[in-house]
Amino acid sequence: MKALFYKFILLLLKNYNRFYFRRIRIYGQEQIPKKGAVLFSPNHQGAFLDPLLVGTSCGSKVTSLTRSDVFGGPFQWFLDALKMLPVYRIRDGYSSLRKNAAVFDRCHEILGKGDHMMMFSEGSYHNEYYLQRLSKGSSRLLLEAQEKFPDRTLYVVPVGINYSHHQLPWQEVHIVYGNPILVGDFLQAFNEKRSATINQLRANLEYEMKACLWLPENDEQYVQKKKYINLANTKLGFTKLKEQLALDPKQLKTIENKGSVGPFWINLLSLPNILPLVGIRRVLKLFPDIVFHNSIKYIVGLFVFVIWWKILIFSGAYFYGIPTGVSLFIGSLFFLYLRQVLISKYKSN
């Protein structure tokens, strides 16, 4: 039952991605090893969206490590079905950290069987394009798994998730799968100098992950450069935009504020979908951390708009006939599309 649910969710989200995002571009899928165990290591700028994007684009079933505070309660069955495991942090209490040993043993077994996993090596989510300092957790997990299963071929694959905007729907996302790192190459050194080898693998992984990001460094020019990440420039593709940002970003386009005309039309185009939009806005107020906003829009929007469109279709068909119900649905989609296109032209990072 859980396996069937996992397949259903994967298929649902793959199709839903085409409606929520303007375009998803995937690079380097051919570099994902066809044989052996794989740990995907993405950057973490989109909260819940990040694992969903990797899970729907990597081409395989993936067990994900995620924060422990979402586990337990009525949703535990769904978390198990979605192949999620808890990871405990210092903020969860020092006593909780002991539970990580059992979780890591489970991860070793998964990798030892040749299955695929995902772990966010930055250790925490954030709202910027650059890569934060990686924690040692993923490197330690990989080396310990390789030590337990020395005959198993084990890779870590760096992943860069690049959003044209962190908070808005109908944007571009460029998912970059980088050069896989063969963990077995570090095993002999790990047997001799454990701590130093963990740091070495972490440094290699950090280097490869930065190659998968538009703006990997938080340098003195970062704030200025990130203004050039928008829909007008992401159409250049990942590699060309990354090169242009590094060499001469002033040749790129910025989004200009054109006064009150844009907000007026955005509000006007919101009217045909005012109820679901207000509902989503109220849910967003429950999450003060802006990093979660795009994920909330993604998840809540899936349910709210499906309900809204059913109401439009059935109420229109009931009172005026099926053509009216279908017209209301199409009109709602059309005005929602125009609204998001206009928002993209007036809001920058």
Among 334, 316, 313, 315, which Cα is nearest to 269's? 334
Q: What is the mean pLDDT of residues 210-215?
A: 98
Q: Do 5 and 83 form a contact (C-beta atoms < 8 A)?
A: no
Fold of the 2-233 domain: Glycerol-3-phosphate (1)-acyltransferase (3.40.1130)
CB atoms within 10 A of CB 9: 16
- Count CB atoms within 10 A of the CB of residue 137: 19
Determine which helix (DSSP H) or strand (DSSP E) holds 26, and give its type and residue range. strand 23-27
pLDDT at 60 over 80: yes
Task: Find all residues with CB under 8 Å of 202, minimum gap 6, and list them.
Answer: 121, 134, 135, 136, 138, 139
Q: What are phi and psi of 324, to 5 degrees?
A: -65, -45
Q: How confident is the model at residue 124 (pLDDT cuts 50, 70, 90)?
A: confident
Boundaries of every domain in the chain:
2-233, 261-346
> Which pTM does this prediction carry?
0.92
What is the arithmetic mean of pLDDT over 33-50?
Answer: 94
Average pLDDT over residues 146-150: 97
Exposed, middle or buried: residue 220 (CB in 10 Å: 0-12, 13-18, 19+)?
exposed
Q: Are 304 and 280 in contact (CB under 8 A)?
A: yes
Element (H, E) at 161: strand 154-163
Ramachandran assignment for 38, one of left (phi > 0), alpha (psi -120 to 50 degrees), beta (any other): beta
- 67 sits in which H/E element: strand 62-67
Per-residue model confidence as pLDDT tens digits over 225-280? 999 999 999 999 999 999 999 998 989 988 765 555 578 889 999 999 999 999 99
